Amino acid sequence: MSADLPLAEIVNGVFALAVLGLGARLNNKVNRVRDDAAATRYQVENNHIDEHGNPINLREEADGRHSENSEKLDSLARNLDRVRDSVARIWERTDRHTDQIHELELTQPRAPNKGAAHEHDSH
């Protein structure tokens, strides 16, 4: 039986070394996961605070900004509609004035063609 004792100690020693090696590898992986989680937390953690030093809920802040931007876009769209209407009125007036100028030009006597007079004089 004494021969079995060293073999049992060797098996236990090998098993302990295997467990220690596996534990070290597992510990390294856990440390990497912990570091990655800390880096992720830093990236997504809400560090915005209000004027009283209280944290601001990131979703509420985003919703507020969305609402504010939506109101600004609506205002811009209304202003753009007004500009479009103004340009359309200017375009209509310009068309009417162009038509009136053309009608006036048709009622005016034609000026003699200077080039034709010079040709006539040279013959």
C-alpha span between 28 and 20 (Å, rounded): 12
Contacts of 46 (CB under 8 A, 6+ apart): 55, 56, 57, 58
The full set of domain ranges for the chain reads 56-107
pLDDT tens, 42-97? 777 667 788 888 888 778 888 889 999 999 999 999 999 999 999 999 999 999 99
C-alpha span between 29 and 51 (Å, rounded): 41
pTM over 0.85? The answer is no
